[in-house]
Amino acid sequence: MTQLFNNARIVLADRVIERGALAVNNGLISAIHDTVQAHATAIDCHGDDLIPGLIEIHTDNLEKHLMPRNEVLWPTLPAVIIHDAQCVAAGITTVFDALAVGDLEGESVRLDTLNSAVAAIDDGNHLGLFRAGHLLHLRCELAYPALLDTLQTLIDHPALRLISLMDHTPGQRQYRDLAQYQKYYARKNVSWNADTFASAVAQRCALQARHAAAHRQAIVALAQARGIALASHDDTEPQHIDDAVRDGMLIAEFPTTMAAAAAARAAGLLTVMGAPNVIRGGSHSGNVDAVSLARAGLLDILSSDYVPASLLHAAYLLTEQAGWSLPQAVASISSQPARAVGLHDRGSLRCGARADLVRVHHAGLLPLVREVWRTGRRVY
């Protein structure tokens, strides 16, 4: 049975249909019309935007539900279900749950919940409890001593589609400014005096020297053997991009400088920046701001990172603050992330694509998610 979405402002890959209609059959888009259609049972979108379902390839939003307060671990499946609902309410129909494999801080929610989170995601998918589609993005901390042993249990998981290589060693990449590093962990209730801080930095640098290079080489080989997409993380120097290209990476996540982003563009990598960076007007860590990259033509993909609702809002802001067209802005949260991770069946409104759809209403300058459909079925 054909389902018709009528009287919608339809955002296509290359243009906007100001008042049109979109037909869905068997979960796929079957027709797109430039005019409103006569159809007795059509869904009237009342002139709202109709865009593809959002694709989020890097969010650690789940962590705040797994540990809603310090030292409070929440039951895992209920935590994932609430995270799922939050994502769909933000218009996200495909979410890559970014789970950290390793942590330089020792005991943490990330270490405590990795395997239980994967098991809960499996249960939710198997039991049909989720509204969004859930895939896995494993964030591998290269200096973590037990990284390879931990990763081996997950590397052949069927939902694993993306691996990012992270190095949060102080003194480089995101934490090249040691004062910023100390300030960040002070907010997490880590207290250091001058001596203990120097000792912590020295210990973490020693771990990097001992493990990072070998771990990187091993993970690249594991991923390439399985066709899993690879991302570099927090690139700061052009050399970091050279290393990413050498290792066959496709994505540069959250470059911290304009120089690294420019090198990523020259090398053909797709650059991801945080949507909260756009909305807040800058990075919370003092790195390059996303809007400047967008204006310079150095931004391809937005990630909600830690705030699912930021994704849609930031994309529309880029039409005002960076001069992007609406199709370009929508592509940064749909077709571009789909392209980065090889999801060729979704991400744009075209005949034959999955009918993952979001109806967006405008409350002044604020885009609001009114309704969401996944493969033609309403999920919000």
At 112 the pLDDT is: 80
| pLDDT number for residue 182 | 65
pLDDT in tens, 177-221: 676 776 666 555 566 777 777 887 888 889 889 999 999 999 999
189 CB neighbour count, 10 Å cutoff: 7
pLDDT exceeds cutoff 70 at 171: no
- Give the pLDDT band of residue 169 (cuts 50, 70, 90): confident
Q: For residue 24, what are the CA distances in angstroms to 28, 29, 269, 375, 380?
A: 5, 4, 34, 9, 17
CB burial of residue 39 (10 Å; 0-12, 13-18, 19+): middle
| Residue 98 confidence (pLDDT) above 70 | yes
Asked whether residue 107 carries a pLDDT value surpassing 60, the answer given is no
pLDDT of residue 202: 87
Instruction: Pick the range with the lowest mean pLDDT from 81-90, 188-197, 242-251, 294-303.
Output: 188-197
Domains along the chain? 1-51+348-380 (2.30.40.10), 54-345 (3.20.20.140)
Mean pLDDT computed over every residue of the chain: 93
The pLDDT value given to residue 213: 95
Supply 348's token pair: 């744009």
pLDDT band at 229 (very low <50, low <70, confident <90, very high): very high
Which of the four pLDDT bands, split at 50, 70 and 90, describes residue 173?
Answer: confident
- The mean-pLDDT minimum among 37-41, 199-203, 209-213, 367-371 falls in 199-203
pLDDT tens, 324-347?
999 999 999 999 999 999 999 999
pTM of the model: 0.93
Residues 18-34 have pLDDT tens digits of 999 999 999 999 999 99
CA angle 160, 110, 342 (to 5 degrees): 20
Q: What is the dihedral of CA 156, 244, 303, 178, to 10 degrees?
A: 110
